[in-house]
Amino acid sequence: MDKKISNFLYFIVCYVFFIYVNISLSNFIVYHIKDGYRFTSNVISLHYVKNTGAAFSILQDSREILIILSVIALVLLFLYALKHIKSISMKSLFFIALLSAGIAGNLHERISLGYVRDFFEFSFVNNFPVFNVSDIFINIGVIALIILILLKKTR
């Protein structure tokens, strides 16, 4: 199979898989929290919050702006991946798909619910923002891509 086609299929399969995991896991956790399930440990606890802004409470009640920024970010990520599909590494495609799925997960909730459902809270950090699966995907994707870029630059 042509490298361009196989890389594209790999990217799409990763993206769809991450979207599925994101939405399914978020729905599962929120359903159980709302049904009365509680979990608390020394590291993390579950605490349901409706977030109308972005990370660290920036842009509160700016749904339209956050939707537009999310769509722009997704378009740019997909255009970059498609433009470089032949030369981009599988690791990079994996993390671009993870990052894109995180952005898309928050976008989906902002459009369908009007807010993002956050539920993970670090027990050992005071006033750290509550976050969700999408936020985890976004942070892992960004950090991994930065590391891959830095490692490529040092060669």
Per the CB < 8 A criterion, the answer to whether 117 and 26 are in contact is yes
Domain ranges of the chain: 3-153
Structure tokens at 151: 């490692």
Residue 153 above 80 pLDDT? Answer: no
From CA 58, how far away is CA 80, in angstroms rounded? 27
Residue 139 above 90 pLDDT? Answer: yes
Mean pLDDT, the chain, rounded, equals 93
Three-state DSSP state, 119:
strand
pLDDT tier for residue 93 given thresholds of 50, 70 and 90: very high
Task: Please identify every residue annotated as catalytic.
Answer: 118, 135
pLDDT score at 1: 66
Q: Tell me the pLDDT tens digit for each residue of 46-86.
A: 989 999 998 777 888 889 999 999 999 999 999 999 999 99
- Single-letter residue type at 72: I
pLDDT score at 55: 79
Task: Write down the H helix ranges in the chain.
Answer: 3-34, 63-83, 90-113, 133-153
Q: Tell me the pLDDT tens digit for each residue of 106-134.
A: 999 999 999 999 999 999 988 889 999 99
Query: What pTM value is reported for the model?
Result: 0.92
